Amino acid sequence: MASPTTVVTPVYPYLEVEFTIGAFRSPTVLAYIDTGFDGYLIVPAAQTAILGPPQFSAPWELGDGSVVQAQEYRGSVYVSGLAVTIPARITLLGDEYLLGRGIVDRLRVTFDHGQRLLVEP
């Protein structure tokens, strides 16, 4: 049996991913792994012009307890370096790419002494 591919991320604790929504495929982006976020992928709200009208919107409770409406899409997340594509709910919110438990829970992720991130399918 072949050993699984392991990706060592270039910047800790970020993971290189691409995402698709319909025919749109993003360039590779660095997404911060947020183990306290139970969603899939947050994309900066400024990307609205590129992605087009949202497929739906939903209320989101933020860390400070406030609730905001966010634009949402159904798509997929591809983890760079792995042969893994994960169906995902992609949310436009804030100003940073965040990768949540909806993606991370489908991978083996090792936070290695606060220095590097090892990711396997």
Read off the pLDDT of residues 52-80 as tens digits, 9 standing for 90 and up.
Answer: 899 999 999 988 999 999 999 999 999 99
What's the confidence (pLDDT) of residue 9?
A: 82
Contact 15, 108 (CB under 8 A): no
What would the mean pLDDT of 5-12 be, rounded to a whole number? 84
Torsional sign, CA 25, 29, 100, 6? positive
pTM value?
0.91
Q: What is the DSSP string of 43-107?
A: E-GGGHHHH-S-SEEEEEE-TTS-EEEEEEEEEEEEETTSS-EEEEEEEE-SSS-EE-HHHHTTS
Structural domains present in the chain: 17-114 (2.40.70.10)
Q: Percentage of the chain surpassing pLDDT 70?
A: 97
Of the pLDDT bands very low, low, confident and very high (cuts 50, 70, 90), residue 113 is: very high
What CA–CA distance (Å, rounded) separates 12 from 91?
A: 23
What CA–CA distance (Å, rounded) separates 51 from 73?
A: 9
- For 33-58, the pLDDT digits (tens) are 999 999 999 999 999 889 989 999 99
What's the confidence (pLDDT) of residue 73?
A: 98
